[in-house]
Amino acid sequence: MILALETSCDETAAAVLDGDDLRASVVASQAELHARYGGVVPEVASRRHLELVVPVAREALTRAGARLQDVERVAVTQGPGLIGALLVGLSAAKALAWARRRPLVPVDHLRGHVASLHLPPDPVWPPFLCLLATGGHTLLLEVREPASFSVLGTTLDDAAGEAFDKGARLLGLGYPGGAAIDGLAREGDAEAFAFPVARVGGLDFSFSGLKTALLYTVRDLGAEEAEARKADLAASYQRAIVRALVERARAAAERTGLERLAVVGGVAANSELRASLPDAAFAPLALCTDNAAMIASAARFTDPVPYPDYLSLDAYA
Ligand code: KG4
Ligand code: ZN
């Protein structure tokens, strides 16, 4: 039985995984706390994690019907993420493991996203091609072993989720913006504006030009007209991001010969992306955005550090 903690950004999460039985997954989102600043404020996030990490871990154990002494391994996100936020989870996990003389499993957050696919109800196992699209990363990965990968392509500037968030901000939709654009786009015409899909070499991505194109379009329209056409702008902008992701994923499939494509990370929750890749496997909706179930899942395929050697472990930003 694994108890996992995840505190890399603005979600405080804990999960209990027993074999492949996900007994509990608790996510306390801080999104509302950061919304008024238009983005995550690292120090505010760290302090909130500190308040939430024990109640969230306790809630996960309660929902799982387990006690701390039932936990065989404690897993935790070691990085990448906000360093102060990570340290809260890592310190809490060390304390929990140390108190029971259990091993600790440090987990890479990106491997965690990939491992969200290895959970019920429809687990996906390697080999497959994986599109990982979050607020911090946009990666095309070749996955040959569980929770492990080699990188085929990455973004040269903004991540796909970041492009959604920045676009939402330009349209006055608040933070985080991906889900807001997704919702508004349903009422708009995706062909109304022709936003560019950047063409960069290899299997890499670039989203900064798209964001600038939206900025200029909004400016040229003027405040009133931009407000009136907000749904069209959201739909066209989303179409450009989705098109870039789909094109590159298809090119990677051709290049690697990998027949199966899987999509993970917060942007995998996007309804247009899901509809545009009908043959792809998507992580379950609840496991697309940050959660601890995926960290527990990856921990099954990561070497544990024995008691008490992990006390000197550090997080990486
Ligand atoms: O994986 P995640 O929770 O955190 C990171 O590891 O970054 O991803 C968060 C990102 C945010 O940028 C958010 O706007 C985006 O995922 N996102 C979406 C949707 N839901 C969340 N983007 C597009 N459509 C959505 N429905
Ligand atoms: Zn993430």
Give the residue from 293, 252, 12, 263 showing the smallest Cα distance to 114.
263
User: How distant, in Å, are the alpha carbons of 30, 84, 88, 112, 140 from that of 246?
Assistant: 30, 35, 36, 22, 11
Contact 25, 112 (CB under 8 A): no
One of 3.30.470.20, 3.30.420.40, 3.40.50.2300, 3.40.50.300 is the CATH number of 126-283, namely 3.30.420.40
Q: Binning pLDDT at 50, 70 and 90, where does residue 300 land? A: very high
Check pLDDT > 90 for residue 148. Answer: no
The per-residue pLDDT for 20 is 94
Residues of the chain above pLDDT 90, percent: 94
Check pLDDT > 90 for residue 199. Answer: no
Check pLDDT > 90 for residue 68. Answer: yes
Q: Whose CA is nearest to atom 22 of ligand 1?
A: 178
Closest atom of ligand 1 to CA, residue 161: 12
Tell me what the mean pLDDT of segment 129-149 comes to.
96
Check pLDDT > 90 for residue 36. Answer: no
For 2-117+291-312, CATH gives: 3.30.420.40
Q: Whose CA is nearest to atom 21 of ligand 1?
A: 266
**22, β-bridge pairs:** 17
Q: Binning pLDDT at 50, 70 and 90, where does residue 175 land? A: confident
Tell me what the mean pLDDT of segment 296-311 comes to.
98
Q: How far apart (Å, rounded) are the C-alpha atoms in residues 245 and 97?
A: 40
Check pLDDT > 90 for residue 151. Answer: yes
Closest atom of ligand 1 to CA, residue 159: 12
Closest atom of ligand 1 to CA, residue 269: 26
76-91: per-residue pLDDT in tens?
A: 999 999 999 999 999 9
Tell me what the mean pLDDT of segment 13-28 comes to.
98
Q: How far is the CA of 135 from the centre of ligand 1 (A)?
A: 5
Tell me what the mean pLDDT of segment 227-251 comes to.
97
Q: Binning pLDDT at 50, 70 and 90, where does residue 147 land? A: confident
> Would you give the DSSP letter of residue 13?
E
DSSP string, 106-173: EEEHHHHHHHGGGSSSS---SSEEEEEE-SS-EEEEEE-STT--EEEEEBSSS-HHHHHHHHHHHTT-
The per-residue pLDDT for 140 is 98
Tell me what the mean pLDDT of segment 148-177 comes to.
95
The per-residue pLDDT for 198 is 82
Tell me what the mean pLDDT of segment 90-114 comes to.
98
245-263: per-residue pLDDT in tens?
A: 999 999 999 999 999 999 9
Does 238 sit in the ligand 1 pocket, CB within 6 Å? no
Ranges of each domain in the chain:
2-117+291-312, 126-283
Does 175 sit in the ligand 1 pocket, CB within 6 Å? no
Same topology for domains 2-117+291-312 and 126-283, yes or no?
yes
Q: How far is the CA of 128 from the centre of ligand 1 (A)?
A: 22
